[in-house]
């Protein structure tokens, strides 16, 4: 059973449950299962070098790559969409990110290393947010243990907050293993 917490600040609530850890990931204290609702301020928030993207300048079906490079992040395998399926509700704004053309995978690389990455996630199945250093070494993971679609019996609500924290994060991946998922209110802290 997953305990749910509702977070009203810019900090990551951690619910640690080693049962959801990968067998090959030896530091189970870094595997975080988060089920939280999170509300961000302005479209680009600068507080202690915190950047929050809300995707308001994007067009529907626009391929997202270098649009936010000047803010410190480059995306790959990413498209902006306005979900037509009510199972994927939008928390704020009109657009979300989704993995495309390869479904179930989305990657972000940072211009400079960051210390924290968080986003609101709605997924059709289990999803893993992984953080890597410059050499591709795994630093931390955050896991959504199963689908959290709207109007489902999931104990985790849609738009769950996933967060990874570590020193020198250079790249993150969202992986839902061929499932569909949406990313909203993507933020990172330098």
Domain boundaries, the chain: 30-189
The class (CATH top level) of 30-189 is mainly beta
Contact status, residue 139 vs residue 110, Cβ threshold 8 Å: no
110-155: per-residue pLDDT in tens? 999 999 999 999 999 999 999 999 999 999 999 999 999 999 999 9
Q: How confident is the model at residue 48 (pLDDT cuts 50, 70, 90)?
A: low
Across all residues in the chain, what is the average pLDDT?
Answer: 81
Q: Give the 3-state secondary structure of the chain.
A: CCCCCCCCCCCCCCECCHHHCCCCCCCHHHEEECCCCCCCCCCCCCCCCEEEECCCCCCCCCECCCCCHHHCEEEECEEEECCCCCCCCCCCCCCEEEECCCCCEEEEEEEEEEEEEEEEEEECCCEEEEEECCCCCEEEEEEECCCCCCCCCCCCCCCEEEEEEEEEEEEEEEECCCCCEEEEEEEEEC
Q: Give the pTM.
A: 0.77
């Amino acid at each position: 059973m997953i305990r749910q917490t509702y977070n009203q600040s810019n900090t990551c609530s951690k619910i640690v449950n080693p049962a959801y850890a990968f067998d090959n990931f030896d530091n189970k204290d870094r595997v975080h299962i988060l089920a939280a609702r999170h509300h961000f301020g302005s479209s680009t928030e600068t507080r202690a070098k915190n950047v929050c993207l809300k995707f308001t300048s994007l067009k529907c079906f626009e391929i997202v790559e270098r649009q936010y490079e000047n803010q410190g992040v480059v995306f790959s395998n990413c498209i902006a969409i306005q979900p037509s399926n009510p199972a994927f509700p939008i928390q704020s704004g009109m657009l979300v990110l989704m993995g495309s053309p390869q479904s179930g995978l989305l990657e972000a690389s940072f211009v400079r290393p960051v210390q924290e990455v968080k986003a609101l996630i709605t997924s059709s199945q289990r999803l893993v947010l992984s953080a890597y250093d410059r050499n591709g070494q795994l630093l931390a993971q955050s896991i959504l243990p199963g689908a959290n679609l709207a109007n489902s019996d999931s104990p985790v609500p849609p738009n769950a907050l996933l967060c990874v924290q570590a020193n020198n994060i250079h790249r993150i991946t969202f992986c839902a293993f061929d499932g569909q998922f949406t990313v909203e209110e993507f933020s990172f802290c330098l």
